[in-house]
Structure 1
Amino acid sequence: MEYILQIFIMMAEGGQGECPGHGDENAKNAADVSLRETLERTLSGIVSDFTEPAYSLDLLADKFKSFAKPGMEEPTLWAALVKAAIELTSVEAPGWEFIAARLLASSFRRELAGRLKELGITDFYSKLCYLTEEKLYGDYILEHYTKEEIQEAEGFLRQERDHLFTYSGLDLLLKRYVIHSRSLKPLETPQEMFLGIALHLAMEEKTDRLYWVRKFYDMLSRMYVTMATPTLSNARKPYHQLSSCFIDTVPDSLEGIYRSIDNFAQVSKFGGGMGLYFGKVRAAGSRIRGFEGAAGGVIRWIRLVNDTAVAVDQLGMRQGAAAVYLDAWHKDLPEFLQLRTNNGDDRMKAHDIFPAVCYPDLFWRLAKEDLDAPWHLFCPHEIRQAKGYALEDSFGEEWEKRYRECVEDTRISRRTVTVKDIVRLVLKSAVETGTPFAFNRDTVNKANPNSHKGIIYCSNLCTEIAQNMSPMETVSQTIETENGDPVVVTKVRPGDFVVCNLASLSLGNIPLEEEGVLEDTVCTAVRALDNVIGLNFYPLPYAERTNRTYRSIGLGVSGYHHMLAKRRIRWESKEHISFVDRLFERISRAAIRASADLAAEKGSYSLFEGSDWQTGAYFAKRGYSGPLWEQTAALAAKGMRNAYLLAIAPTSSTSILSGTTAGIDPVMHRFFLEEKKGAMLPRVAPELTPETYWYYKNAHLLDQTWSVKACGVRQRHIDQAQSMNLYITNSYTFRQVLNLYLQAWEQGVKTIYYVRSRSLEVEECESCSS
């Protein structure tokens, strides 16, 4: 340790010549005491926790010498030391990623201390006062908590939990999530960030408020749960838009379409993504006010959505994002399926949005039994005019009956193709662009616990949300006089404008075998998500109305592959299927009980009466039996706080924060280098050891039928849906890809997210080459 201390201090002092040897006392005596103590404390912790030869500090010193130059500024020296640790990270020594994080944390705390001293900030309370005055914190925190409560909450901070971060996670958190000054300097530590979020989420608890602050803080700082990126980023801030995604039903009218596009712009402005259902919009060539061939079709409107996504970005952090959904029987489907492909008329393309198709059971049944069967594409407007009903408003047997009625009705024009024609277009686009996403609408609606109050047309941007939807309708528009001036008053019936409030259990980090830990974590997370509904800043009043009516949440998971690997469970095994069946049943039961307990304390959602939760149909449909489920069903029958509970999102950014694998996805690589700002950063599979190495099989090398099987088993326990990707290679035939879609449909999978294709032509087997 002395050796690297001497090198570091000498460089900071601007020393010349050769780097010191092990016994050079001159550099030691000249060292700045405060700097030396900071560095020595950090290195001592590293030595005590990483004792294997692969983590020798002499190795760090030698690597550091190649980056450091005499006379460097102290922050640059720290950065060089961090870079040295990063470059030592390898499959054989993955722990260097944690060492790099500790060095980064020490450097960050040292810089932050100097910054806070200049500002006169001495404790957490004075920091909150400063941040509130600067409008970096919302004033609601200081309005709800006394000085004494905040000082007590400061005692919850556990600085040592910074050791849980990998370098990638800590670097991301410091750059994107902690509060920054207007000159872009960070002003929060990671632990203060977690505590600030906890203070916000517990703000309106009526009893034991500080108890829940601590519970929320512990849940987040131990990395047992990650809140969605908007919650992590915006909780405690003046504009506290905490929801991830929104879903709108686009009406078949000029006014309604433009209102939906405006809704998307408002959502994107405050950092939200969007799902838009276009299945009600009339097809190209349809009538407008009786004039034949006047309608331009959905593609033209989708291009406007595309341009809006580009023009209105998400808080300057990333481009706006929208998924657009269309039914498999819509007349504009062939053009829709070519929105993102690289051939054809560019005026019919929309490369910045994500298309998705809503499939009825009948389509997949024909795809399995008779690909040459005719498939009829209709205009929804013509069906409404001829039949008096909207075909998209039904599902299952009723939908099939109505579809066949439309086929037989000669008044309704149609485009007749074969099922094979549609399948080819779907698979060609999926292999080339990763989209369209798949939404199995009959499967979704048959399992809908709130079908007594509506229908689910589509999902959201990441295909994990499945909640009741309905379009907004203009009731009237009048001109009134206010203070002598004319005012246009438009009355709109709000419909069901879906909001996604998300968090994820980090399954790789939670000690699942410890009695009660998982259940307690689920209970705490459900409460935190329910609080989001009341504390949220809503970009649209329609969103607030729907969110408060249904009180829907989406608790998901991350770290799925991490969880399996650390327990030595192979992805392609029956043990995997059996393990997750038991685990997700536990999660489901814990979430339902947590929501029922909240309902007893705070009241049920307003549409609870007649729901599958109350009638018990929810449990019967899933075949839940036994004493534990009978008790749970009895609790749910008395009341549920939330209409929808579980949904598995992708968690790409938040899984990096918590040092685990993303969502339910397998890892892409055990170890790889990512180029970032001219540097190569290592990415290592969590807890990679010689024992876990063989359980981290790369996503594209896995037999995808096992992924679909696992998704089907999990789906039984999830009331909404899952962001499930398929990983294919160029060796896959169209028939093999189609079989994966058919298998997913047969096993009750509600949605398929991306098809991620990659060639293995020049790729060696990583396991053997290592």
Structure 2
Amino acid sequence: MFTPPVRTVHTVLKPNNRSLTFDEDRFIRYSERMLEDYPHLDRSRWHRSVMSKLRQPSVHASDITQACIMTALELVTREQPDWKFVAARSLLTKLYKEAALNRSYKAYADKPYGDFLKLIRSLVTTGVYREELLLCYTPEQIRELGATIAPQCDELFDYIGLLTLRERYLAADFEGRTMELPQERYMVIAMYLMHKEPEERRVQLAKEAYWAMSNLYMTAATPTMANAGKKVAGQLSSCFIDTVDDSLEGIFDSNTAVARLSKMGGGIGVYLGKIRARGSDIRGHKNSSSGVIPWIRQLNNTAVSVDQLGTRKGAIAVYLDVFHKDILSFLDLKLNNGDERMRAHDIFHGISIPDLFMEAVEQREDWHLFCPHEVKKVMGWTDDNGRPVGLEDFFDEKLGEGTFRERYAEAVANPRLSRITLPAIDIMKRVLKSQLETGTPYMFYKDCANRSNPNQAHGVIYSSNLCTEIMQNQSPTVVEQEELVVRDGQTRIVITKVPGDFVVCNLNSIHLARAVRADVLERLIPIQVRMLDNVIDINNIEVLQAQYTNHRYRAIGLGTFGLHHLLALEGIAWESEAAVTYNDHLYEKIHYLAIQSSMALAREKGAYPLFQGSQWESGRYFEQRDYTTANRPGLYVSTEQWRKLADAVKEYGLRNAWLMAVAPNGSTSIIAGSTASVDPVYELLSYEEKTTYKIANPAPDLSEKTMWYYKTAFHIDQHWSIQMAGARQRHLDQGQSFNLYVRPDIRAVEFLALHLHAWKAGLKSTYYVRSQALTVEECEACSS
């Protein structure tokens, strides 16, 4: 117990127009409750600072709470990071009081939550929640689920995590008043994601999903977190990738599809490699095409004008092949100098790179740029169905040999094919310059992505998404015909399209530092995979080709975050062989459990429609990674276990065509109080800027012990990060949002060496190049 100083405040003004005499004993009890789990913190100092902020004779009750919060935040340091939890507890009391007032119930310290059934009924009636919550669960079941809610789990949040949850995700009424509390948000998500499950298992599965989220063993992606169970909200999927057909109809249809998805909160990737280059012919008219840049500028305008549910501008990434004739102007898209008519500052861009280009860079050879339209017309290549194909449709099936380099050599040797020829290193210099100035372009290593594609029998991967972790089959949607049709005396314009593979991915992520150390992966991953699979059946995507692709492949992206947090707790240095080996074994186990979970779902519900012909079915997927072909040292999974799983997959199928993708997890890792994705910690004590103040955000579980293992991003040798990423990549059937952290004064030869290392290590992509002199925007949609 501590002795408070002489107070100056005498009267407390309550929200219901009552005024009370300031009760010093009550405030001391409140202080003790806020600090009871942190005996090492200086209570007297905190109390004195709070009271110094309350010098008026009368204050509002909310002013006292705010003074408690601000004082705790001011006391956060590297040496005493736990003040962030004290601030969170003060914010919690504020949230509890607001919800109780808005929902007309009495909140007590030991029972801060109200009637869950009453909340559901009220918000369904007012149109905030979806009717399915009442239609698919009986009142008794909702009461049972409400009794499962664990208010003590709210104490897992630190201040910035709780604040983020409150500001972005908790349901409010149409007047903006807080109605939902954190654990109710998790329970509503769980109920909604499980509402189509068989009635006899529905409640238990909802409880299991709630267990996973409430203990912060995992996080759902931002679209799911924000929208699940809510009526007036966006869709639940995170990522989309479109492939644009080389036609006026295809270009404008794609722009419309992008706009419709962007308004619902989706992050968009657009592959433009099939569009003819600047100066190409149109219907035989020479030098008529304006190339890809004008269409990118249109997408840029779409990103700005079609915002995401009124909260932020759309987020769109465009990709182009490094052998496309427009690649040089494409690389200059985001630079701050030059012709503004050739710039698109609100768009993100990435380049699709074959192995042959990286070889040409390394060996200082020439590189040739072609127009995809002209390649198709002159070369006359066709696929098995007789359709014209271009260079973009091929990849090297083996490292150092394959179809792409053969076709590229044929194109180079054809004198009728126009081209631009320049040293490959000159293109790479443009890439490096843009990355240091803008953080982009992203690098997508196409051959590696396609070689390890388990569904390569059904298509080609041309590019990635906004955050470079999604890698699935793509193809353009083509307008077949447009005609006037008279039906029942009514004239209609009917447009017929052949749907392409319009990529959709659904994300959530494992909190490594909590789940691994709690030893719950075997229980956690099956419910995560089920949650993701259910999103596919629940979600209603406005763009029909995306809906069609979603059900054909049923792709999901199980990811992770908190890697540096976990390594620090385990006492493993980032720059070490131990970290590389730990990555290898850990991600192999996660991959094994993900495949096992999807196989179990296929046994229960059926395999994805295109399972036949896949490398999952043939077993090639497992052989390619040496899972079943050799006895390897492994911390978690033996070769015999892999062989049994491969046999089970062959017998029962797989529910999901792709399973794993490591997203950036920017905002949701903040909620969970951990480090983002597979990134090293940025600073031991970073700050989140608010309108009038800054919030100190220490590295998670920062202590005298972990501090030694929290070497910060710009001080880490990036080659160690690449080695770890290479070890992980073998166990990711898709990709990972992998950032490079460089200093502004990095030498060009060192910068180039990082890219060559990433390519040789088998990475399928690299995301931002982050420089201390550069601020880049995070993708909200892919946060999971």
- Is 1:136–1:181's contact at 8 Å kept on the other side of the alignment? yes
Equivalent position to 2:495, from 447, 471, 490: 490
Evaluate the alpha carbon distance shift between residue 527 and residue 662 of structure 1 in structure 2; reply closer, same or farther with a 3 A threshold.
same
| CA RMSD across the alignment | 2.0
- Is 1:8–1:77's contact at 8 Å kept on the other side of the alignment? no
Equivalent position to 2:550, from 539, 547, 550: 547
Tell me if 1:420 matches 2:425.
yes
Given the two structures, how large is their TM-score scaled by the length of structure 1?
Answer: 0.93
Evaluate the alpha carbon distance shift between residue 400 and residue 173 of structure 1 in structure 2; reply closer, same or farther with a 3 A threshold.
same
Tell me if 1:449 matches 2:451.
no
Indicate the SS of the match to 1:486.
Answer: strand
Aligned to 1:764: none
Tell me if 1:165 matches 2:165.
no
Identity %: 43
Alignment of 1:107-506 (within 5 A): 107-117=94-104, 123-206=115-198, 207-238=200-231, 239-368=233-362, 370-371=363-364, 373-389=365-381, 390-396=390-396, 397-506=402-511
Structure 1 position 673, deviation (Å): 3.0
Distance 1:218 1:663 in 2: 22
Structure 1 position 76, deviation (Å): 2.1
The letter of the residue matching 2:181 is: T
Structure 1 position 543, deviation (Å): 1.4
Aligned to 2:387: none
Evaluate the alpha carbon distance shift between residue 240 and residue 317 of structure 1 in structure 2; reply closer, same or farther with a 3 A threshold.
closer
Alignment of 1:635-654 (within 5 A): 635-638=648-651, 639-654=653-668
Indicate the SS of the match to 1:199.
Answer: helix
Aligned to 1:26: none
Equivalent position to 2:50, from 64, 81, 90: 64
Count of aligned pairs: 738
Distance 2:573 2:413 in 1: 51
The letter of the residue matching 1:637 is: K
Alignment of 1:586-597 (within 5 A): 586-597=589-600
Aligned to 1:598: 601
- Is 1:4–1:57's contact at 8 Å kept on the other side of the alignment? no
Equivalent position to 2:71, from 81, 84, 88: 84
Aligned to 2:540: 537
Evaluate the alpha carbon distance shift between residue 503 and residue 759 of structure 1 in structure 2; reply closer, same or farther with a 3 A threshold.
same
Tell me if 1:100 matches 2:79.
no
Equivalent position to 2:759, from 745, 750, 758: 745
Distance 2:31 2:527 in 1: 36
- Is 2:260–2:542's contact at 8 Å kept on the other side of the alignment? yes
Runs (4+) of structure 1 exceeding 4 A deviation are 1-9, 29-33, 39-42, 118-122
Indicate the SS of the match to 2:154.
Answer: helix
Given the two structures, how large is their TM-score scaled by the length of structure 2?
Answer: 0.92
In structure 2, list runs of 5 or more residues that go unmatched. Answer: 15-19, 108-112, 382-389, 397-401, 629-638, 775-784
In structure 1, list runs of 5 or more residues that go unmatched. Answer: 15-28, 761-770
More helix by share: 1
Indicate the SS of the match to 1:208.
Answer: helix
Indicate the SS of the match to 2:421.
Answer: strand
* Cα deviation code 1:692-740 (max 9, x no counterpart): 0111111011000000000000000000000000000023111111111
Structure 1 position 113, deviation (Å): 0.8
Distance 2:29 2:593 in 1: 42
Evaluate the alpha carbon distance shift between residue 242 and residue 13 of structure 1 in structure 2; reply closer, same or farther with a 3 A threshold.
closer
- Quick check: 198-207 or 267-276, which moved more? 198-207
Distance 2:722 2:114 in 1: 54
Structure 1 position 12, deviation (Å): 2.1
Aligned to 1:627: 640
Evaluate the alpha carbon distance shift between residue 298 and residue 759 of structure 1 in structure 2; reply closer, same or farther with a 3 A threshold.
closer
Structure 1 position 612, deviation (Å): 0.7
- Is 1:341–1:429's contact at 8 Å kept on the other side of the alignment? yes
- Is 2:352–2:444's contact at 8 Å kept on the other side of the alignment? yes
* Cα deviation code 1:30-76 (max 9, x no counterpart): 4569xx76x66653344431111xx1221111111232233121112
- Quick check: 626-635 or 292-301, which moved more? 626-635
Structure 1 position 334, deviation (Å): 0.3
- Is 1:391–1:402's contact at 8 Å kept on the other side of the alignment? yes
Equivalent position to 1:722, from 736, 742, 754: 736
Structure 1 position 180, deviation (Å): 1.1
Indicate the SS of the match to 1:509.
Answer: helix
The letter of the residue matching 2:54 is: A
Distance 1:725 1:367 in 2: 21
The letter of the residue matching 2:544 is: P
- Is 2:513–2:562's contact at 8 Å kept on the other side of the alignment? yes
Evaluate the alpha carbon distance shift between residue 13 and residue 392 of structure 1 in structure 2; reply closer, same or farther with a 3 A threshold.
closer
Distance 1:4 1:555 in 2: 51
Structure 1 position 250, deviation (Å): 0.5
Structure 1 position 7, deviation (Å): 4.9
Evaluate the alpha carbon distance shift between residue 620 and residue 391 of structure 1 in structure 2; reply closer, same or farther with a 3 A threshold.
same
Tell me if 1:692 matches 2:706.
yes
The letter of the residue matching 2:212 is: M
Distance 1:3 1:481 in 2: 87
- Is 2:11–2:22's contact at 8 Å kept on the other side of the alignment? no
* Cα deviation code 1:354-398 (max 9, x no counterpart): 110000000111112x22x11100000001111123211111111
